[in-house]
Each structure stands twice: as structure tokens, then as C-alpha cells.
Amino acid sequence: MASARRILLLSSSTVHGSAYLEYAATFIKDFLKKSDVKKILFVPYALKDHNDYTNKVRGPLKELGYAVEGIHEAPNAIEAIKSAEAIYIGGGNTFQLLKTLYDLNLIQPIQDRVLKDGIPYIGSSAGSNVATASINTTNDMPIVWPPTLTALGLVPFNINPHYIDFDPDSKHKGETREERLSQYHEIPGTPPVLGLREGAILHVEGNVAKIIGVFGAKLFKPGCEPKEYNVGDDVSFLL
């Protein structure tokens, strides 16, 4: 795949006990510094109220030194992608997000900017799901129906954000996360799934991928035992 890509995929925008993006601040700054980013194009489509959401994100990112433009504020969304210095797609409902990206014909423009032009892409939760091969491994409710679950394909595998281990004390009878992922992998041809714990970040530079952030990840592959990866581990073999 394209080696220009620069990608930072967060499991979650927040970890317990800290403010929006607080745990990720130094990772985001380090990541964006390399591309000399001053202004971030924020994509709020995963939530219903785009103004509200953009305003919530603007403060924390301004404190880090970035101006934020909401893509919905731009006269033309495709043009906004074409001229963006960096793209940040926030969390919310993954189906709603992907449907909107398709409805507004933004898939190809984002792919071009990230894979060809090498502008930085940051995703959080749903924004990380849509960066991968497909959203088949979202945790979200299918509140709307996108034309396909195939996503941006900026990386060739899937992510499960907010990954959480089985709680042995739980009395709940719904499937565990691990059961859900193993049911996915019963289907022929499904890609590996990287379960990112809240606080885990996947950092991709060209053909090098690493787990950074404050917590690790668990990798699921068809027919294999799940395998743990810790902060600092190289997972470039997934690319």
C-alpha cells in the first residue's frame, strides 16, 4: 500500500478520569508537528449535531495550538478535503459516519489526500473504524444503513475500538467482545482485527505501524489464539 500515509487511530477520545483528548495530547502534537500542521479539518458526521460537536472539539485542539474548521462549515465538503492540511474524524455512530461519507462522495477524496498526498489523518473510535478495511467490527448500533460496510481502507485490516476484556463477574448474557470477533472470523476471507483498548493508539507512518498511547491492544486473526501487543510494539506486519 501507499507509503505516503501518516495515520493516528485512537481507540477513544477520552480515557477514564481525564478530559477530551487529554491522554492523547502529546501523541497528537508529535504526530502533527512532522507535517507542520496549523489547521485541522474536523469531520463531525458521527454525531447528529455538527455544530455542537465541532465546538466541543475546538477548545481542546486550540489549547494544543491548532485552528479547527468543521467540514460542515465549508461551502463545499469535497473542496474542504482537497485543501485540508490534516483531517480529524471524531467518534459517535460508525454507521451514520460512513453513510455520510458515502452520501457526500468523500471516500475517494479522503483516500487521495491520505494515501497519495500524505496529509495526516487522525481518527477516534468511529473515525478509526472508517479508516480501516470495513466497519464490520464496530461496536455501534446500526441506526442507519450505509450502502456498504467497506470503509476507507487506509490500512488493510479492521479495528475494534473500545476493546474490553471479558468481565468474569458480569451476570450479563450478551456475547463478550471476544465471542463477537470470533463469530466474525468464522466468515471466510475476513481480515485481522486489532482490538484497541481505550487509551491505545495505532500510529502508522508509511509501512511502519506501532502501538502507542497509554494502553495496549489485542490482535484477533481467523484460526489463531488472540495475541497481546503492548505500548511500543511494532505491528507493521499488519500492513
Minimum CB–partner distance for residue 94 and Ca ion (Å): 6
- Residues 6 or more apart whose CB falls under 8 angstroms from that of 50 comprise 44, 70, 72
Scanning 8-16, 76-84, 118-126, 147-155 for contacts with Ca ion by CB under 5 A, the matching segment is 118-126
Say whether residue 128 binds its own copies (CB under 8 A).
Answer: no
Q: Is the separation of the CB atoms in 119 and 86 below 8 Å?
A: yes
Q: Is the separation of the CB atoms in 202 and 166 below 8 Å?
A: no
Say whether residue 140 binds Ca ion (CB under 5 A).
Answer: yes
Minimum CB–partner distance for residue 183 and its own copies (Å): 6
Q: How far apart are CA 43 and CA 53, in angstroms?
A: 9
Can 125 be counted among the known catalytic residues? yes
Can 50 be counted among the known catalytic residues? no
Scanning 61-69, 71-79, 109-117, 176-184 for contacts with its own copies by CB under 8 A, the matching segment is 176-184
Q: Binder to its own copies among 144, 156, 234, 236 (CB under 8 A)?
A: 144
Nearer to its own copies, 75 or 170 (CB): 170
Q: How far apart are CA 177 and CA 198, in angstroms?
A: 14
Q: How far apart are CA 73 and CA 58, in angstroms?
A: 13
3-state secondary structure of 235: coil
Please state, as a whole number, how many other Cβ atoms lie within 10 Å of the Cβ of residue 61: 21
Within positions 189 to 218, which residues make up the interface with Ca ion, using CB under 5 A?
none
Say whether residue 19 binds its own copies (CB under 8 A).
Answer: no
Say whether residue 85 binds Ca ion (CB under 5 A).
Answer: no
Strand order in the sheet with 120-124: 67-70, 39-43, 87-89, 120-124, 6-10, 200-205, 208-213
Minimum CB–partner distance for residue 95 and its own copies (Å): 8
Which grid coordinates belong to 166?
471479558
What are the residues binding Ca ion (CB under 5 A)? Answer: 126, 140
What are the residues binding its own copies (CB under 8 A)? Answer: 12-17, 47-48, 92-93, 95-96, 135-145, 148-149, 162, 164, 171-175, 180-181, 183-184, 186-187, 190, 198
Q: Which residues are catalytic?
A: 125, 140, 162
